[in-house]
């Protein structure tokens, strides 16, 4: 993911490549990506690193999902005005048989070698002989340390607290 130390441009030696440079090295992927965007006409000629659909907040994605469900169930009157305001100025991905080729970020994320790559912290932990388990954010009920901490507080209260 970095330019080699013997790169022809001294300014780039050892620097991070960026998404575009990595994709350009994979000629067949880069060619397909540019062809898809050229096929969608002049409105889609700018190749973006991360499109609007990929940068949308989770709130916006949830609102879209609720609106789609309400529309599918024929409950158009259940859609609130503030929900629709979240939908304004959203850029939708290119929807056709080339699903997932909307921006450079998504194309790179779809590549097999990027999907199978482990984070550095996971490699370090597993190389030390431990198990690395990533838990969902803000789900303390799934976190073992929270359960142990809760048990310790309960045990301390039972042993040292007096009930009046």
Structurally, the chain folds into a number of domains equal to: 1
Tokens found for residue 56: 């949308």
Is 163 inside any structural domain? yes
Name the residue range of residue 125's domain.
Answer: 118-164
Q: pLDDT digits over 17-66, tens only? A: 888 888 888 888 888 888 887 776 665 556 777 777 777 766 677 777 77
What is the C-alpha separation between 53 and 1, in angstroms, rounded? 25
Least confident of 1-15, 97-111, 120-134: 97-111
In a domain, 91, yes or no: no
Cα separation, 96 vs 99, in Å, equals: 6
**Residue 93 pLDDT class (50, 70, 90 cuts):** very low
Model confidence band, residue 85 (pLDDT cutoffs 50, 70, 90): low
- Residues 60 and 86: beta-carbon distance below 8 Å: yes
Q: What is the pLDDT of residue 88?
A: 47
Whether 41 is in a domain gets the answer no
DSSP state of 16: B
In a domain, 49, yes or no: no
Query: 80 pLDDT exceeds 70?
Result: no
Cβ pair 102, 94 in contact under 8 A: yes
Tell whether 86 is covered by a domain: no
């Amino acid at each position: 993911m970095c330019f080699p130390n013997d790169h022809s441009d001294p300014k780039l030696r050892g620097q991070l490549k960026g998404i575009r440079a990595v994709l350009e090295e994979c000629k067949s992927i880069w060619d397909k990506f540019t062809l898809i965007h050229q096929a969608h006409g002049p409105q889609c000629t700018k190749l973006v690193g991360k499109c609007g659909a990929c940068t949308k907040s989770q709130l916006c994605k949830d609102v879209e999902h609720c609106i789609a469900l309400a529309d599918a169930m024929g409950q158009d009157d259940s859609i609130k005005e503030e929900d629709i305001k979240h939908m304004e100025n959203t850029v939708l991905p290119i929807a056709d048989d080339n699903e997932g080729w909307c921006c450079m970020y998504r194309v790179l994320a779809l590549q097999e070698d990027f999907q199978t790559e482990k984070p550095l912290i996971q490699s370090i932990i597993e190389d030390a002989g431990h198990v690395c388990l990533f838990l969902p954010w803000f789900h303390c009920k799934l976190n073992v340390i929270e359960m142990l901490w809760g048990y310790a507080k309960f045990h301390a209260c039972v042993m040292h607290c007096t009930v009046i």
